[in-house]
Amino acid sequence: MMKTMITLISAIAINITTNAAITGFSDDFSASNLDGSIFTVNTAQNAEGHIGQANGVYQMTDSQGGSPAEIYKSYWNESDVSGSFEASVKLQIDLPGDEQSDFKWTFKGKEADGGDQIEIKMFTPTKKIKIQQRTGGNWYTLVTDTDVGYSSGDDLILGLTYDESNSNITVTVQVDSGTEQELYNGTGNGSGVANIIADRNSVAVSKWGTDNLDSKATLSIDEWSLSPTTSDSGGDNSGDNDVTPTFNLAFSDDFSASNLDGSIFTINTAQNAEGHIGQANGVYQMT
């Protein structure tokens, strides 16, 4: 019977690395207290608007005339926040009527570094969503007030995908278990959307108009996450976004040593151990 001898590879290498440097986070607010390792409560403004965390949600409200109640994930002190990412927040807004409040989900870069700001907001009592971009010191409306079918107490799930290579954002919304709607897909105003996370990702609620303390929105955050991604959209934004590995794995061998590197490779001695000729002259041989 003829035997086949295999000369295994004069060089082999595998390298898997992440393209994104931004740090992801995820919280379902099921703990008894807000996770201070992730989020910061903005106590410098409207500290009394923070009801707190209980029953799987974090709650905030606001009275007329004050500053917004805000919590945020800070990226200010991170040395590298480059890369594409996808983010999502699930929340409910209790609207007693005539509350004249607004909720904002914000992605904020550092203006000193030429960073942009994306603000996704819902005004009440109209319950319509508006998307704005701040770039070059000016605000631009990307999506005018849009009715998404929201009612008081419904689940509101917002998503934002940032494609750094194409300076593109995609914003989606879903109400309860309904169909996901795409609100915006584009490069914003000017030369594209850029550097939108170097300061913070925040959720805030504020009140304007009437000073009726009974008519104010109460915001309950249920889930909130951000994950780095790689993009293979190729410039037409038609590709998919896959979550980037959170590990860095690499090995390489040109088989030039006198013996197989056991710190890298394992010989399957449980079967056909005699088929391994061994390593010599820059190759590893089997038969």
Residue 1's pLDDT is 46
Residue 123 lies in a domain: yes
Provide mean pLDDT across the span 97-115. 90
Domain containing 164 — which CATH number?
A: 2.60.120.200
Residue 276 lies in a domain: yes
Residues 210 and 282 in one domain: no
CB burial of 144-180 (b: ≥16 within 10 Å; e: otherwise) equals eeeebebebebbbbbbbbbbbebbbbbbbbbbeeeee
CA pair distance 82, 170, nearest whole angstrom: 18
Residues 100 and 190 in one domain: yes
Residue 22's pLDDT is 93
The tens digit of pLDDT for each residue in 130-150 reads 999 999 999 999 999 999 999
Q: Residue 264's domain spans which residues? A: 6-16+260-286
7 C-beta neighbours (distance < 10 Å), count: 14
Residues 126 and 150 in one domain: yes
Residues 171 and 226 in one domain: yes
Residues 177 and 268 in one domain: no
What pTM was estimated for this model as a whole? 0.74
Residues 90 and 159 in one domain: yes
Residues 50 and 180 in one domain: yes
User: Between the CA of residue 196 and those of 22, 64, 115, 168, 201, what are the distances in Å?
Assistant: 12, 29, 6, 11, 9
Residues 123 and 53 in one domain: yes
Residue 255 lies in a domain: no
Residue 275 one-letter amino acid: G
The domain tally of the chain equals 2
- 35 confidence band (pLDDT: 50, 70, 90): very high
The tens digit of pLDDT for each residue in 70-87 reads 999 999 999 999 999 999
Task: Answer yes or no: is pLDDT of 177 > 70.
Answer: yes
Residue 270 is classified by DSSP as T
Residue 81 lies in a domain: yes
Residues 238 and 269 in one domain: no
The tens digit of pLDDT for each residue in 208-263 reads 776 666 678 899 999 999 999 975 444 444 444 444 443 334 466 778 788 888 76
Residue 41 lies in a domain: yes
Residue 252 lies in a domain: no
CA pair distance 170, 191, nearest whole angstrom: 16
